[in-house]
Amino acid sequence: MGSKKFTAGPNTSIAECPKCKNNTEFVARSEQVMEDGCEIWIVCKCGYDPTAEKTGSRMEDVWGSLGKGEILCALDCTWNEPILEQFPIA
């Protein structure tokens, strides 16, 4: 399993963590889940993981790389989407 801490600048495009309200400091995680595939997902600095109960929301990748492109995609599909599904904006 790999991980990479990263910081996003002040923004309005990343959903706030429902636990601590952070939207700038995260950890990207990657784990091999099958012989030829990995899952990539984003976890808040406080440890909140919106995909913990629904791992099917995690991004699939052959190599499990944690480069800029993979992190940006994971922010959208494994952070923003699950949070907005669980906590819709009124």
Instruction: List Cα–Cα distances, 4 to 12, 20, 29, 45, 72, in angstroms.
Output: 22, 20, 7, 11, 13
pLDDT of residue 87: 83
pLDDT at 90: 59
Looking at the structure of the chain, the number of domains it has is 1
Low-confidence ranges of the chain (pLDDT < 50): none
Q: Which strands form 25-34's sheet, in the order they lie side by side?
A: 2-7, 25-34, 37-44, 59-61
Quote the pLDDT of residue 88: 79
The predicted pLDDT at position 1 comes to 73
Query: Domain residues for 54?
Result: 2-86
